[in-house]
Structure 1
Amino acid sequence: MPRYVRILLWSCLGVLLALAIVVALLATMNWNMARPWVSQRISQVIHRPVEIRGDLDVDWLRPRKESEGPRWLPWPQITANQVVVGNPAWADEGKTMAEASRLIATIDSGALFHRVFRLSSLHIEDASVLLERNEGGAVNWTLSETTEESKTPSKWTFDLQSLSLTSVRAQVIDATKELDFQTEFDSIAEPGADGYGLEWKAKGRYRQAELTGEGKSGGVLSLRDGAKPFPLKGEVSVGTTTIGLEGSVTRPQSLAALDVRLTLAGDTMADLLPLLGVALPETPPYETEGRLIAKLDGDADVWRYEEFKGLMGKSDLRGTLEYHRRKPRPLLTGQVESRLLRLRDLGPLIGLETSGMEKKEKKASDFKQPADKALPAKPLNTESWKVMDADVQFAGEKILRDEDLPLDNIKAHVVLSDSVLSLKPLNFGFAGGTLANNLVLDGRDKRIKADLSIQARHLKLKQLFPGAERMDASFGELFGDAKLKGQGVSLAELLGNSNGELQAVASRGTISRFLLEAAGLNVANMVMVQIFGDEQVVMDCLASDFAVEDGVMRTRVFRLETDDAVVDVEGRINLAEERLDLQIRPQNKTVRIFTLRSPLYARGTFKNPDVGVEKGPLAARVGAAVALGVIATPFAAILPLLNVGTDQSTGCSSFASAKGDTGKAAPAKQEAGKETQQSNREQQIERTDDAGEKDEAGFPKNITP
C-alpha cells in the first residue's frame, strides 16, 4: 500500500475518532458542570439573576423534515430542572420573578447558521410567574436595562414554534390599582376548530373585593399573528359584579379591536368605573346582555354596545349605545327603549334619590332640609355632568312612580354638552292627558341656569285627585301652560328668583274638603272650608294666570265659579320666602249662601299657612269693589286654554266672554267706590302690560291656542 494512502487513511480515522470522542463526550457528559456558565450567560441577556438549581441535561434528536440545516446535524433537546429567575432590586426580598420545575426546549441547530434562534418546541411544567407594578409605576417585566439597548436592532431573531403549559401560574400585583390575583394556565390537549388553546382559572382580590374567574383563550403562539382574531371566552366576578364574554380580540398585546358577546350583572353600575373606565351612577341591581364591539385607536376609541337587553331593578331596558373616547370629554350616544320603568330604579340615573339608595349613600355630612322650608333646598349635584357629553333618545311605554300616578308614552331626547343638560322634548302621558316639556339646565357655573316650558293638556281631574274614583261625582279636565327661567343651586333657589308665567284652566269638576285634603292642598282646603263648609261643590270652571318676576307670583287672573258662587283671588306668592299674601273675594250667585259676604285672606308660609276672614277697612274696601263690580278680569291672556278646541263646552264660557268689568254698578253707589275703582283700573293696566305683546286679535303672541 502506498505511503500516501496509509497517511490518508490514518488521517480519516483520526478525524472519525475525534468525532467519536466528541460525540461520546457530549452523550455522556455531566451537563450539571455547565450550569454556572449557562446561568451567567442567560442573566447577562435578561438582566435578571438566573439560577439552575436542578439537573441540566442535553439529549440529541434527529432533525425534523422542516429543518433548514443539514440532515446529519442533530438537534439538542435541553432539559433544565428547578430554574429560578430573580426580581429587580426594587422588588420585595424573598420574591422571585419566575420559577419552573422543568423546562424542556428543543433547538433547531440548522437555523443557527441563518442567525435565527429557533425553539422547535418549549414545554413549561409546574411553573409560577410574578408580574408586578409598584406604587411608583415601575414594572418587573421590562428586561432591558436601558432604552438604548431596546433601540439597537439585534442581528439575531427569535422564533418559538410550539409551546405547551402544564400547571403554570401567573400572579399579577399592581399597587397602583390595588390589584392582586393569580391565574393558572393549562394547555388544551387537542385544540379544536374554535381556536382555543389554553384553559385558565383566576383568583385574587381587587380593591378589597374578591376576584374569581375561569375560561379559555387562544394559544399563546396565536398571539404572533396580530391580524388574526384571538378567541376568548370566560366569566369573571369582582365582588358583586359579574362579567361574562365570548368572542375575539384583535392584537391582545395592544388591544386594537374587540368583538364579544358581553353580559354584565351586579349590585350597582357605579362599581364598573374602575373596571370599564366609564363613570356611571349608583343604581339598583342590574343585569344586561349584548354585543360589545370596540375599535381602539388611541384617543379616538369607539365602544358600541349593540342590541343589548337588560334589567335594572324591576325595570327593563334595551337598545344600542356608543361610547366615543375623545377630547375634551367622551361622548355617549344611542337609543334606549323600555316597556316598564320604575322611578325608584330610574331615579339614580337622573339624580333622584330613592329609599334604597339613601341608605347606601348616607353620610354624616348629608344635607338636611330646613324645617321651615317646603321647596327642596338640597343643592343639585352637577359634577357628573362634567365627566362626559351625551346625545341619547329614549322611548318608554310606562313609568311607575311608587304612590304617584304612572307616566306613559314617554319620549325624551337627552343632550348633555359641556355641562349643559337639555331635554327637548320630554313628553309623556299623565293622568289621562299629556305633558309636553322642554327643559334646559346650564351647569357650567355653580348656580344652575334653568329654562323650562310645560304644556299640559286634558289631564283628568278624577285621576289627579287621590280617592276621587270612590266619589259619586263628575270630574273635568285640567289644561295649563308654564314658562319659567331662573338660576340657583337648588330647586328652591331656581324658583325663588324665576321669571315667567303660569296659566291653568280646570273645568267641570267636583271638589270637596276630602279631595283637597287628600291631595295635600292645605291652603285650598282651608279656603274651601271657610267658603263652602264640608259640602261637595260642583265647579263650573277654575281659571288662573300668574306673572312671575324675581320669584314673586302675581295674579293676573284667578277665578273659581260654581253653581252658587264666583270666587276671585288676588295677590302674590313669594317663592323665595315661601310666603302667601292673597285676598279671596267670594260673590253669591244665589241667595241661599250667606257665608260668602266677607272677603278672606291667605297669608303665612307654605309650611304654616293662615286663612281667615278679613276685618276692618280692607274688608270694607274690597267689599265695596265687589259690590260695584269694578274688579277687572283680563281673561284674554288665557283664552287659548278656555277654548281648548273640543266640541263640548268647557264650562268656562262666561270667562271667555269677559272683557273687562264683571258687572255694572248702580249710579248711586259709584261715588262711594270711586277710589277703589281708580285703584283697580291702575292694576288692570299693569296686568295688561304684563301680558306681553299682542297680535291683531288682541291676544298675547306668546300664547298658542
Structure 2
Amino acid sequence: MDATTGIYGAETHEDGHPPPHPHRYALRIVRNVLLAVVAGVFAIWLVLFVTKGRFLKHPFERIATSLADRKISVGGDFQLYFAPLRIKFVAEGLQVANPAWAGQPNLFSARRIDARIAPLSLLFGRRHIYTLDLDQGAADLEWDARHQSNTWTFGMPGKGKPLEMPRIDRATVIGTRIRYLDPRMQVVANLEVDPITSTNARIGKAVAVRGDGTLRKTPFRVNARLLSPDETIGRGENALQLRAWAANNVIDVSGKLPSISDVENVPLHVRAQGRDLSDLLSIIDVTIPHTRRYALTAQLVKDDVRYRFTGMSGRFGNSDLAGTLTVTNGERLRLDSALKTRQLDIVDAAPFIGYNPDIVAAKGAVAAAAATGAGPRNVLPDARLPVDAMQRFDAALTWQIGVVRSRNVPVQDISLKLTLDRGRLALSPLTFSMARGTVSSDLIFDTRRRPSAVSYDIRLSPTPMGRLLAGYGVAQSGTTGSIKGRIKLEGRGDTIHDSLASSSGRIAFVMPQGTLWTQNAQLAELDIGTFVTKMFEGKLKKPIEINCGLVGFTVRNGIAAADPILIDTSRNVVTGRGGFSFDSEAVDLAFRADGKKFSLFSGQSPVGVRGHFADPSLDVISPQLIGRAGAGLGLAVLATPVAGLLAFVDIGDAKSAACGPVLAGAGAAAQRTTSGKPRKDVGNGRAGKID
C-alpha cells in the first residue's frame, strides 16, 4: 500500500507525512502561474527593451490600419517598448492616409514622433501622453465636394468620430504645417504653426499660425492666434483671433469656437476695411459699384450654406452704412441685404451711375465720365455693365437713405428696392423726395438680351420750382410755380451712354399755374423793355403769372426733339425748337418769347442754347437780333434816331395757349390757342441733325 491508516484513521504517505492541503496546493499553482506570467512579461519587456520593439513595426501598421480604417505606415525607424514602465513610441516617417476621395494622399505625416504614453490609458478613459516631441508634422484637413465628409473624421460618413486630442503633460512641437481645403467655399489655406512647448499639460501662451492661400482664386495672407490652446486641447472653448489680407482689404475675425474646426452657428465678430468695398465682394464673384475707402463691422454666423452678417455698421467715403447681409453659397450664389444710411454724400453716390467717386471729388463729373471711356466733352458714363458677373449671382436689396449731402440737389428719403435674377437687374421702385416733391422710378437692365435691354421710367410729382432751383441761384421768395414730369425711354446697350444713345420714348415736364420772379422770366424772354422798366421802378422781384407750361421732347434713336416747348405767362408766350443728342451730347435749342402786350425795346429774337451737356452756352446775339439792330440803324440814318426805336417795338400780338393740352403733356400736334386754332409756332417733334 502507498499509504496507511493511522490510529485515528488519517491517511498518510509512506514516509509517514500527511498529504498537502488542497488550498495550499491551489495557492502553489497560482504562485507558479504568476511567476510564469511575471517571467513572461519580464521576458517580453526584456525582449522589447533590448530590441526596442522594432520587430513590431509591421504588426503595428496592420493593427492600426484595421482600427482606423485608414492605411497607416512607418517609413523609417520604429520603436515600441516599455521604458521602464511607460510605453515609449518612436516613429520616423509616419503616414496616416486620407480617404480615397481626398486630393492629398495623407491626412497626417511627420518626420519623427517620440512619445511616452501611460499604458493603462490605452485601455481605459482618455489617452494620456506624458511627453511628446513632434518634428515636421503635416496635416491635411479637407472637405469633400458635397460638404458631408472630411478627412479628419474616421469611420463611415455621418457615423464617424473626429480624432480626439489626448492629454499631453509635456510637449515640444516644431515645424508643423496644415493644409485646409473647402471646395464649397472655394478656399485653400496653407498654414505654418509656430513652435509649441507645453509643461504640466499647459502651453500657457497663444499659439500663432501664419500662411497664405486662395479664396475663389483670390490670393490672401493670414495671421491667426489661438488664444486658448490649453482649453482647446482639453476640448473646451477655442478663443481665436485672425487677420487676413486680400485684394487690398484687411479682414479681422475673432470669437470662440466649440471645436477648432467647427464654426457652425457660432457668432464671430468681423471687421473689414479697405480702399474699395467692391474689391472685397469681388473675391466671392459679386460685383457692386466702386466705393471710396470703407470700414465696416458686423457679427457673422455661419448656418450651413448661409453666412449671416448682422448688426453691420460703418462708413464708406463720407457716408454711413448699417444693416444686414446674408450670403447664400448654394447652387447659385445669392445676396440678401437690408441697408440704411442716414447721410449719403453726393460724391459717394457717383459710382451708382458709373463714375469713379475719387475722380468726381478731385476733378469733377466730366473727368469721371472721361475715365469710363466717354468722349472729352461728355458727361454720360460709358462704363460697361458687368454682364458676366451679373449672370453668376442673384441678389435682393432694400436700402433706405435719409439725406443726400449736396450743394445743388435737395434730395432726401431715398427708398431703393433692387432685385437681380440671372442677369436681369431691376431698380423698382426707386423713390426719393426732392424739393418737397417725389421722384418715383423703375429702371430695368436686362443683360439676358444682347445687347442689354434697358428701360427708364422716371416720374416727378408736382415740385416747387423755387426750392428745386434754389441751389442754382434762384431765390424762393415770389416763386410759387411747380413742375411735374415723366421720362420714359427704352434702349439697347451695355452702358448708360449706349442705352440712351439708342433710346426712343418721350420726355415731358409740365408747369401748372403759378408765379415766377419777373427777373427770371424777363431774362429768359429777352423782353428788355419790360425788364428795364421794372428795374427803374424797383419792381424787379414782383412775380409774374404762369398760366401753364410744357417742355416736351420726343426721342427717336437717341435724338430728342422739342415736342413742344410752350410756356404761357400773363405777358408772353415762350416757344422753343430744336433738341439734343444722347449720343454726341450736343445741344441745339432756340427759345422765343412773343409778348401779349405792347413793349418797347423787345428783342423778339430766339435765345439759343448750344454746346454740349458738359459745357452748354447761351447765345443771345442771334442773326434775327442782328437783323433787327441793322433795321433800326437804317431807320435812324434815314429818319431820326427816335425812329430807330421802332425796330425794337413788340406790338403784343402773341396768342395765348389753351392750357388743356399743355397740362396733359400732349405733343405739338395737339396744342391749340385759346380760340381753338392749331398752333404752328411750336416744335413738331423733329430736330433735324444734331452733331
Sort the TM-score into its range (normalised by shorter chain).
Answer: 0.5 to 0.7
Q: Are the counterparts in 2 of residues 241 and 271 from structure 1 also a CA contact under 8 Å?
A: no
Match of 1:504 in 2: 510
Of structures 1 and 2, the one scoring higher in RCO (CA 8 A, sep 6+) is: 2
Q: Are the counterparts in 2 of residues 266 and 287 from structure 1 also a CA contact under 8 Å?
A: yes
Match of 2:336 in 1: 333
Which of 104, 107, 114 is equivalent to 2:116? 104
Q: Are the counterparts in 2 of residues 452 and 484 from structure 1 also a CA contact under 8 Å?
A: yes
Q: Are the counterparts in 2 of residues 242 and 265 from structure 1 also a CA contact under 8 Å?
A: yes
Q: Secondary structure at the match of 1:376?
A: coil
The amino acid that maps onto 1:570 is R
The amino acid that maps onto 1:19 is V
Distance 1:197 1:333 in 2: 43
Match of 1:25 in 2: 43
Pairwise CA distance, 1:260: 0.8
Q: Are the counterparts in 2 of residues 243 and 263 from structure 1 also a CA contact under 8 Å?
A: yes
Distance 2:361 2:47 in 1: 76
Which of 594, 598, 603 is equivalent to 1:596? 603
Match of 1:353 in 2: 356
Match of 1:692 in 2: none
Equivalent runs, 1:305-704 vs 2, <5 Å: 305-327=309-331, 329-345=332-348, 347-348=350-351, 351-355=354-358, 367-371=372-376, 373-401=378-406, 404-405=408-409, 407-445=411-449, 446-462=451-467, 464-466=469-471, 468=473, 474-489=478-493, 490-496=495-501, 497-505=503-511, 507-510=514-517, 540-541=545-546, 543-550=549-556, 551-560=558-567, 565-576=572-583, 578-580=585-587, 582-589=589-596, 591-599=598-606, 611=619, 613-614=622-623, 633=657, 635-639=659-663, 660-661=672-673, 680=680
Distance 1:567 1:375 in 2: 29
Q: Which moved more, 1:627-636 or 1:546-555?
A: 627-636
Q: Secondary structure at the match of 1:258?
A: coil
Q: Secondary structure at the match of 2:54?
A: helix
Change (3 A) 1:352 1:217: farther
Which protein shows a greater Rg? Answer: 2
Change (3 A) 1:316 1:531: farther
Distance 1:573 1:153 in 2: 69
Q: Are the counterparts in 2 of residues 163 and 220 from structure 1 also a CA contact under 8 Å?
A: no
Distance 2:313 2:209 in 1: 28
Which of 299, 312, 316 is equivalent to 1:291? 299
Superposed CA deviations along residues 496-522 of structure 1, whole A, max 9, x for unmatched, are 322133223285344879x99xxxxxx
Distance 1:315 1:206 in 2: 33
The amino acid that maps onto 2:299 is R
Superposed CA deviations along residues 368-399 of structure 1, whole A, max 9, x for unmatched, are 32235454344333444223222222222222
Distance 1:420 1:460 in 2: 36
Distance 1:488 1:449 in 2: 6
The amino acid that maps onto 1:182 is E
Q: Secondary structure at the match of 2:601?
A: coil
Which of 219, 238, 243 is equivalent to 2:252? 243
Aligned-pair RMSD on alpha carbons?
A: 5.6
Gap runs ≥5 in structure 2:
1-16, 632-646, 686-691
Equivalent runs, 1:46-85 vs 2, <5 Å: 47=71, 50=74, 57-59=81-83, 77-81=86-90, 83-85=92-94
Q: Which moved more, 1:230-239 or 1:408-417?
A: 230-239
Superposed CA deviations along residues 389-443 of structure 1, whole A, max 9, x for unmatched, are 2222222222235x54353222222222222222232222334543233323323
Distance 1:313 1:190 in 2: 52
Q: Are the counterparts in 2 of residues 125 and 168 from structure 1 also a CA contact under 8 Å?
A: yes
The amino acid that maps onto 2:460 is Q
Tell me the TM-score normalized by structure 1.
Answer: 0.66
Superposed CA deviations along residues 565-617 of structure 1, whole A, max 9, x for unmatched, are 4422134444445455544332235544424234455567656768453559x
Change (3 A) 1:131 1:277: farther
Gap runs ≥5 in structure 1:
62-76, 224-228, 517-523, 643-657, 665-676, 688-705
Which of 233, 237, 240 is equivalent to 1:233? 240
Q: 1:182 aligned to 2:182?
A: no
Q: Secondary structure at the match of 2:118?
A: strand
Distance 1:367 1:178 in 2: 35
Q: Are the counterparts in 2 of residues 556 and 634 from structure 1 also a CA contact under 8 Å?
A: no
Tell me the TM-score normalized by structure 2.
Answer: 0.67
The amino acid that maps onto 2:488 is L
Pairwise CA distance, 1:636: 1.8
Distance 1:660 1:152 in 2: 82
The amino acid that maps onto 2:207 is W
The amino acid that maps onto 1:455 is L
Q: Are the counterparts in 2 of residues 323 and 330 from structure 1 also a CA contact under 8 Å?
A: yes
Change (3 A) 1:371 1:290: closer
Match of 1:697 in 2: none
Change (3 A) 1:310 1:42: farther
Q: Are the counterparts in 1 of residues 437 and 463 from structure 2 also a CA contact under 8 Å?
A: yes
Distance 2:554 2:45 in 1: 103
Give aligned pairs, total: 595
Match of 1:650 in 2: none
Percent of aligned positions that are identical? 15
Q: 1:303 aligned to 2:307?
A: yes
Pairwise CA distance, 1:339: 1.6
Q: Are the counterparts in 1 of residues 529 and 600 from structure 2 also a CA contact under 8 Å?
A: no
